[in-house]
């Protein structure tokens, strides 16, 4: 079974950012970030100048309002920054292979991935999971293979493709975004 496809930068980054909160590393970084911000505000609060009551009260209000705003919008800001970094990074020539026309062939050895720059065979034993999320299939191996569902001619072709992988690997299709996904 063979399929051909081409990923689009904007669509792929939007898909990643839609599911960024589902990735364990992203969630942990968000928690650490919030804890760090709260710690900084506590330190600032403790070392505020004690010159007058009005200035202390004013500084306390400003710090509290800033802390609340940062805690509320930290995740959105992190997603925005990550999205900008991904777009900038994926435009580097090193990652151009991601957006070149590619083909995947399922054969007796495993999943064969080919594009203009490389050819790789992921043995069936190394396929860890398969995910169907939104309009993409994600095959988790040593690397992750992201396949847009619109590359299949019909729903039956997609189902046959997924069934072959499931039969060869004894895996079940997961409908959630992979927790251990690596964006870069």
Q: Tokens 């306390």 label which residue?
A: 60
How crowded is residue 147: how many other Cβ atoms within 10 Å of its Cβ?
21
Residue ranges of domains in the chain, CATH in brackets: 2-6+96-169 (2.30.29.30), 9-93 (no CATH)
Q: So what's the pLDDT on residue 98?
A: 78
Q: So what's the pLDDT on residue 161?
A: 92
Q: So what's the pLDDT on residue 116?
A: 82
How crowded is residue 179: how many other Cβ atoms within 10 Å of its Cβ?
13
Give CA angle at 96 (181, 85), nearest 5°: 55
Q: So what's the pLDDT on residue 112?
A: 92
Q: What residue ranges of the chain have pLDDT lower than 50?
A: none
Residue 121 backbone dihedrals phi, psi, to 5 degrees: -115, 120
Instruction: Please state the pTM of the whole predicted model.
Output: 0.70
């Amino acid at each position: 079974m063979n399929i051909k496809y081409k990923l689009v930068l904007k669509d792929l980054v939007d898909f990643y950012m839609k599911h960024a909160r589902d990735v364990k590393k992203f969630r942990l970084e968000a928690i650490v970030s919030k804890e760090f911000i709260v710690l900084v505000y506590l330190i600032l609060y403790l070392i505020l100048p004690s010159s007058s009551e009005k200035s202390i009260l004013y500084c306390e209000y400003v710090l509290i309002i800033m802390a609340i705003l940062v805690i509320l919008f930290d995740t959105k800001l992190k997603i925005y920054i990550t999205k900008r970094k991904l777009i900038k990074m994926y435009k580097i020539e090193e990652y151009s292979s991601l957006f070149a026309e590619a083909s995947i062939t399922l054969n007796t050895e495993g999943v064969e991935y080919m594009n203009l720059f490389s050819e790789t065979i992921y043995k069936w034993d190394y396929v860890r999971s398969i995910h169907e999320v939104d309009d993409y299939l994600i095959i988790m191996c040593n690397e992750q293979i992201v396949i847009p569902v619109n590359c299949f001619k019909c729903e039956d072709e997609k189902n046959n493709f997924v069934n072959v992988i499931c039969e060869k690997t004894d895996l079940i299709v997961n409908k959630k975004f992979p927790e251990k996904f690596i964006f870069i």
